[in-house]
A and B are shown apart, each in its own frame.
Chain A
Amino acid sequence: MVGAIRRLGALVINGVWQLGFMARFFWLILVYSGQSFTRIHLTVRELYFSGVMSLLIILVSGLFVGLVLGLQGYETLQRYGASDSLGTLVALSLVRELGPVVAGLLFASRAGSAVTAEIGLMKVTEQLKAMDMMAVSPIARVVAPRFWGGVVSMPLLAALFSAMGVFGGWLIGVVVIGVDDGAFWAQMQDAVDFQYDVLNGVIKSCVFGVAVALIAVFEGYDCVPTAEGVSRAITRTVVSSALAILALDFVMTSFMFRG
């Protein structure tokens, strides 16, 4: 009994401790960003690894999500004789919710876990300490480029996901089922507002980018420097990124779309 209470207390204190360390870490990244931007090729390299390498999974998943939305949406809408609104349904659900959220989840498991593994392994092999010895700040050299690489690529990936999804919905709706092409696009353009829908979706994806990138670099930097510790850190990255994305999505949706 006492042991259980003690463990619970340790868990809570550890959590608060970690949260505080994370906030300080975020501040440090921002402070050292200027230094790391003087060597922009480091950030470009991370943009390649987290952005370009995630391109395939994002595009293919976006296409499939769009195809499914097209099929399911048509199935329901045609009962009410509103199958012309298929474009609206596909575009709004992708631009507002599915684009940022699903792209964020995929990005966390594709790129976030890789960043954690990389930084964690650097810590295990004491490369971070060696850098510190040579008066090279590991945060400026290793962490900040990875953070900014994730922050920049996330909104671009979410936009690509949404665009691909709309294309998938069009493919099923117009090409396969035979919804009128003009009605599909016209109703979509009528209902989707640039500021209200598209811009809010982009803001969401930017916030998810910051959250996922911060969690990924933090878990890598904070991991226990053993093989088991690195594997645990990777798991935590994926789990807490997913939770953070879904929770933040709820909070932002309740602010943005109150109708």
Chain B
Amino acid sequence: MSRTTMDLWVGVFVAMGIAALFFLALKVGSISGSDIRSPYTLSARFDNIGGLKVRAPVKVAGVLVGRVSEIRYDNERFQAEVVFTVDSRYKFPTDTFANILTSGLLGEQYLGLDPGGEEKTLAPGDVIRKTQSAVVLEKLISQFMFNKAAEGEPAPAK
């Protein structure tokens, strides 16, 4: 069997298809997860996690360092427990502060860490104690309304 031009075209076609797949994998969708090496888990408890979801990014100073791996409800403390994995290259002081923040006005919610000043660092499996819950828009608005209403009231008669 000899080579034909048809074989050449089929080869070009298959190569183009595979190149397109690579383009989709690398340029369109970055293969996520592979950039987090040998992760360790930490967790944090929140009064309210808002719209945080599993696989949401964990960021420190805007840099992606890990992802949320599990969200569950702690029935004894009546709080949400967020378990997340962090790249083992990064260490955080024990008084690190965990917030739930929103990227942009309409963006997705993510877990932001603010490192504190302690010498000791968090070990795998530790729980972050200092947390701030997600901002719930309804609460914010109702607070604002109550403040406005309080301002508008006439001063009580003496």
Binding site for B on A (CB under 8 A): 41, 44-45, 47-48, 51-52, 55, 80, 82, 91, 95, 153, 155-157, 159-160, 162-164, 166, 185, 188-190, 192-194, 197-198, 201-202
Contacts and interface: CB of A to CB of B under 8 A. Distances in A.
B17 A188 contact: no
A104 to B, nearest CB: 15
Contacts of A45: 6
A48 B10 contact: yes
B24 A163 contact: yes
Residue among A44, A194, A202 with the most chain B CB within 10 A? A194
Interface string B13-32: 11011101101110111111
21 contacts: A44-B6, A44-B7, A45-B6, A48-B9, A48-B13, A51-B10, A82-B106, A91-B28, A91-B29, A153-B17, A156-B16, A156-B21, A163-B23, A189-B28, A189-B30, A192-B28, A192-B30, A193-B32, A194-B31, A194-B32, A198-B28
Contacts, number: 82
Q: Which applies to chain A's interface (DSSP): helix, strand, loop or mixed?
A: helix
Nearest 10 interchain pairs by C-beta: A156-B17, A192-B29, A163-B20, A159-B20, A189-B30, A194-B31, A160-B20, A159-B21, A52-B13, A48-B6
Nearest to A159: B20
A188 B28 contact: yes
Interface residues of B, number: 23
Interface of B: 1, 6-7, 9-10, 12-14, 16-18, 20-21, 23-25, 27-32, 106
A162 B20 CA distance: 8
A156 B20 contact: yes
Given A52-B10, A80-B106, A194 B20 contact: no
Contacts of B7: 44
